[in-house]
Structure 1
């Protein structure tokens, strides 16, 4: 053993990073070119002007994805595809028609009661108008008091001279029927067209799937099948979750309105559930209808305000807490993507586009996971960006967001060890930093942020033990060896030898490495991971000084872990290991070669000097902890 405080800290403009497994970084998205911009413009133009043709096809295709799971379920029960399809369509149509008839009769009953509330509605409308106009009247009076007098206006013409409006003529019955038929013909005709397209899509389901696979090419069969399955699963899951959420919302709203004393509470609850299928606009329409009816039936304002308060509170909870989680998890879309998709498709295709905005975006995001040209959509609108934990650590380290790093690490350490955190996040994240350092892409401030993040993560998540010593709150690590810095902190807490020497034989594990930034950081992190597992681990720098070596203490060391050397350090490493063998003849020597260490030296020359070759911190902990327990 020796005094590591005599080791000279290496000063380097580079970050102390181990050459560990470099995770594959995501490929950069191709830069926008004139052709891409022109193609996107042509696509948007086609979507806008092709709305009469594309909208029914999109509606039918999405409804086919919704009906497909039900048809498959009936087919598994023994029905053939055609009877199963007819049964699903008839059952769905019957349910919709029944619900529509019940709501229609309820609305007729409510409309029949409205005339008796006409006086109350007019009185409250006048009250609201006066309340709104009163502030503007005060402002206008103040402006008139300071403004110069305007020329007097001409007196109004006598009432007798004014042209009397012609009395309105009551429409005849045939004219009223013709007007009603004209209003209903558009929606009914479009609905019929969608149903016809839906039937043909369901009938030609397998044929259409084969055509899409053939269009994608025989080399992309598995990817195409997976994309179609993901799209169908995402759309079906979205509509199922939307049905559950809106049904619960309608039931809860109906109960709340009934408790408040509003007549026909079941009708208004059902109307809330139905209108919420139209994003954003439907909820506003339902709230306005409830407020108007409550104002009509109540002489005062208490019922109206209480109904609005209950509706607003429930809508805020569902819209901001329930729906982002449920819809995001069920569709794979981020909450922002749901809002943006509603704005985009609603602008292009109106109410129908608003209704199917989320399913259409789900299909585009699924396609973006499998088609390179649409990959930006999957990255921008997906529920979770395709960023690994190691990449997130690296990005936050560059920005100096140490608090966010510590929160994520603490969450992981509640179910895993510090060794696993190092293997899966910390060391791979530093490897990403190493690759960018070699390219000169990291500036001095970012290097200091990374050094500080590594030091604080090690000190917070795997503390040295014993009583902490007082130190400056802000420690500049820009020109410091982080591994040596962390070891000095532990020496200040535990003493010169990082712990007592009156311990059982073969109970100490050394984490040794060359006096370089890379090796000392790996050794110190490994020592802290082993200490977390209950192992008496201590980190040292090679070569061990002969002057401070005590042959009587050599038997205390059972194992020495040494990082795999880089190619340019091979000869220095071999001399240090040979000296280590002389000083600690009874210790087992194990190298740590982490996966992807491409800059390492030749394996035969290294393995011949070591007893074992391990690949991760977790392997080191698993190897040493049982030996220590047995000893």
Structure 2
């Protein structure tokens, strides 16, 4: 079983620490922004650098060549965008008539309902309710005052050039700092790893290495794949718009590829900008509708089919976490934070899988909570979510087997619930609901896979506090008193036995259903009590007897039951199953003296009596 996740308790130290971190991120943005950009770009370029080094290129030339490619790409995209913006500014007068016509049509469509509502309200308003607007004295006085005149000195070429350089120098300077940091991070990658390992301490070496390995391989591979996918999307959109006849298609393609790095909102914004531009320049609406259809078709194909094959079904973040991270980093760092929101949050989620202090981040923002199937079963069975549990169980059994479901989900989850029951944290209503849900799962999920029992079943009412006895009675009601025909070949029956206790009868009934799912003729009895024997039922029909593993408090009773089974079925193999999550058990050496074999799970029992079906499962 997995270790319990860290509790999310808020105390004064946690709140103060979180506040200090947020303040540091906000006020230190001038230093942290270029550093974060360089780190993310280093993860993007890491696969390319590794490929060049494997091809025989030295580390420094590979890094410089990779950074040169990035710089060339950025400069090229900037030049294309600048040229396209200049062109679109120059061509705006040509589109002025179409823009005015479209604006008038849109205004008419928007204002018409408002005008109608205003007219209806005016018709029902009482007379004299609307008073004429009287001119204010202040306005008359203000109209008689002289208007101030401002004398401005005409700008010279030097002033205009200075303003242009000041406007451009900020982004260019930041880009230069990012490229310098990127070069040194890539060159000193090994040294940085050694320093981080040294900083974490010798006791955390393995955990630090795993964290850095996930960041260097998994995260960098995702970022690089995302870059390739978005660049391809931008190229396809630009080419498609150009073929349709949209002006400045290169600009819209680049804009679509860049904005797609912004989660969810970027694609919507790019599509809206393209739609508004095309609707403004075209007299009709056909071209705008065509462009939107092409844009949405490519986005759906990319998001539904291509992205899952390239880098998995998810980025590692839940959809809500993507939106929340975009709002958080956008509020802290503006547009740069919006672009880096997903990469930065994904790095924190990956680190939280190995660093305990960041584990709450992984739990809250990860694509799936760090919870085993047994823990999820435990929570849902306490909540009484029978439909969800049955649905999950059916899906699990279709993929594996009912025996595996018992070993990995049902019994470990039930053990957690029993621990809560012993601790007194479960009330009577929850206990009754839990029993009903477990009985319903065991009846509907296991029985649905048996031949002749595939019809939809009604929920099982819990008539008895002993779930195992209740399930056996229901099975006997369907299959007969002896749970099947006695006219069967010798050695074809597997008998499952347990002492007359709630634990043993429940485990026995689960094992019977797990074996019957694999077409094994499994039947159950209660050992250690007088029972009527079937007429015509020879002992040679039974090949194997599964008896539940004893507890410390009923070991003597269990020995008597085993002795009785030995005497009644001398040719059958006697097998018991030692479950790893059971407690208060006698030593294995004591039990081995009374049985032929000790197995460790229901799956091993299935493999013992039906190896072919177990191998298929």
- TM-score for both structures, normalised by structure 2: 0.88
> Which protein has greater RCO, CA pairs closer than 8 Å, 6+ apart?
1
- Structure 2 unaligned blocks of 5 or more: none
Q: Secondary structure at the match of 2:544?
A: strand
Q: For the structure 1 residues 122 and 516, does the alpha-carbon distance in structure 2 shift closer, same or farther, using more than 3 Å as the test? A: same
1:518, distance to aligned residue in structure 2 (A): 0.9
1:177 pairs with 161, 165, 172, which one? 161
1:625 counterpart = 2:603: no
1:209 pairs with one of 166, 173, 193: 193
Name the counterpart of 1:244.
Answer: 228
Residue 378 (structure 1) aligns with: 362
Equivalence for 1:368: 352
Q: Does 1:343 align with 2:324?
A: no
Q: What's 2:41 paired with?
A: 63
Q: 8 Å contact 1:324–1:335 — kept in the other structure?
A: no
2:217 alignment partner in structure 1: 233
**Cα pair distance change 1:205/1:550, threshold 3 Å:** same
- Give 1:96's match in structure 2, choosing from 50, 74, 89: 74
Please give the residue correspondences for 1:253-272 in structure 2 after superposition, counting only pairs within 5 Å.
Answer: 253-254=237-238, 256-258=240-242, 260-272=244-256
After the TM superposition, which of the residue ranges 113-122 and 473-482 deviates more from structure 2? Answer: 473-482
CA contact (8 A) 2:575 2:599 kept: yes
After the TM superposition, which of the residue ranges 38-47 and 382-391 deviates more from structure 2? 382-391
CA–CA distance in structure 2, aligned partners of residues 419 and 70 of structure 1 = 46
**Can you give the 5+ residue segments of structure 1 that lack an aligned partner in the other structure?**
1-22
Alignment partner, residue 459 of structure 1: 443
CA 1:549/1:471 → structure 2, altered by over 3 Å: closer, same or farther? same
Instruction: Tell me how far 1:217 sits from its aligned partner.
Output: 0.8
Counterpart residue number, 2:505: 520
1:150 aligns with 2:131: yes
Which residue is 1:5 aligned to? Answer: none
1:327–1:333: 8 Å Cα contact kept in structure 2? no
Aligned runs of 1:472-621 on 2, under 5 Å? 473=458, 475-477=460-462, 479-545=464-530, 548=533, 553-621=538-606
| Alpha-carbon offset, residue 541 of structure 1 | 0.7
Contact 1:418 1:529 (C-alpha < 8 Å) held by counterparts: yes
CA distance in 2, matches of 1:561, 1:545: 19
Q: Equivalences for 1:41-56 in 2 at 5 Å? A: 41-56=19-34
Deviation at 1:496, TM superposition (A): 0.8
Q: Check conservation: 1:549, 1:583, Cα contact below 8 A.
A: no
* 1:70-91 Cα deviation digits (max 9, x unpaired): 2222222222221211111112
Deviation, structure 1 residue 187 = 1.2
Tell me: CA distance 1:242–1:81, structure 2 relative to 1, closer, same or farther (3 Å): same
SS at match of 1:61: helix
Query: Structure 1 residue 186: deviation in Å?
Result: 1.5
Deviations 1:202-224, CA, capped at 9 Å, x for gaps: 33322222221111112222221
User: For 1:425 and 1:394, how far apart are their aligned partners in 2?
Assistant: 9
CA distance in 1 between partners of 2:280 and 2:455 (Å): 72
Q: What's the offset of the Cα at 1:437?
A: 1.8
On the 8 A contact 1:328/1:334 being kept in 2, the answer is no
Contact 2:447/2:454 (CA < 8 Å) preserved in 1? Answer: no
Name the structure 2 match of 1:20: none
Seen in structure 2, the aligned counterparts of structure 1 residues 38 and 563 have a Cα distance that, compared at 3 Å, is same
How many residue pairs align between the two structures?
606
The Cα shift of 1:515 comes to 1.2
**Does 2:399 correspond to 1:415?**
yes
Give 1:243 deviation, angstroms. 1.9
Measure, in 2, the Cα distance between the counterparts of 1:235 and 1:521: 46
Name the counterpart of 1:17: none
Distance in 1 (CA, whole Å) between partners of 2:71 and 2:31 is 24
**Alpha-carbon distance, 1:567 to partner:** 0.8
Among candidates 47, 54, 72, match of residue 50 of structure 2: 72
In the aligned structure 1, how far is the partner of 2:370 from the partner of 2:22? 27
**Which of 426, 441, 445 lines up with 2:410 in the alignment?**
426
Q: CA deviation at 1:38?
A: 0.9
Aligned pairs for 1:94-173 within 5 A: 94-140=72-118, 146=125, 148-154=129-135, 171-173=155-157
Does 588-597 or 283-292 show the bigger shift?
283-292
RMSD: 3.4
2:455 and 2:286 map into 1 onto residues whose CA distance is 63
Task: Classify 1:547/1:539 alpha carbon distance in 2 versus 1 (closer, same or farther; 3 Å).
Answer: closer
Shift of the 333–393 alpha-carbon distance from structure 1 to 2, 3 Å rule, reads same
User: How far apart are the structure 2 equivalents of 1:126 and 1:168?
Assistant: 37
Partner of residue 65, structure 2 = 87
Gap change, CA 1:437 and 1:604, over 3 Å in 2: same
Q: Please give the per-residue CA displacement for 1:315-349, whole angstroms capped at 9, x wherever unaligned.
A: 57767997799777564222222221111111111
Return the alpha-carbon distance in structure 2 between the equivalents of residues 64 and 231 of structure 1: 11
1:113 positional shift: 2.2
Seen in structure 2, the aligned counterparts of structure 1 residues 499 and 288 have a Cα distance that, compared at 3 Å, is: closer
- Alpha carbons 2:482, 2:534 under 8 Å: kept: no
Describe the SS at the equivalent of 1:510: strand
For the Cα contact (< 8 Å) 1:590–1:611, is it kept in 2?
yes
Bigger drift between 45-54 and 58-67 goes to: 58-67
Q: CA deviation at 1:160?
A: 11
Residue 189 (structure 1) aligned with residue 167 (structure 2): no
Structure 1 contact 85–202 (Cα < 8 Å) conserved: yes
1:273-422 → structure 2 map (5 Å cutoff):
273-279=257-263, 282-308=266-292, 310-311=294-295, 329=313, 331-422=315-406
Q: Is the 8 A contact 1:455 1:486 kept in 2?
A: yes
CA distance in 2, matches of 1:535, 1:514: 22
Partner of residue 426, structure 2: 442
Q: Decide whether the 8 Å contact of 1:332 with 1:382 is kept in 2.
A: yes
The one of 13, 38, 45 aligned to 1:35: 13
Please give the alpha-carbon distance, in whole angstroms, between the structure 2 residues aligned to 1:440 and 1:552: 47
Query: Once the 2 structures are TM-superposed, how far is the Cα of residue 601 of structure 1 from its aligned partner?
Result: 2.3
- Is residue 368–residue 374 contact of structure 1 (8 Å, CA) maintained in 2? yes
Q: Structure 1: how far apart are the matches of 2:454 and 2:51?
A: 67
Of 37-46 and 601-610, more deviation after overlay is shown by: 601-610
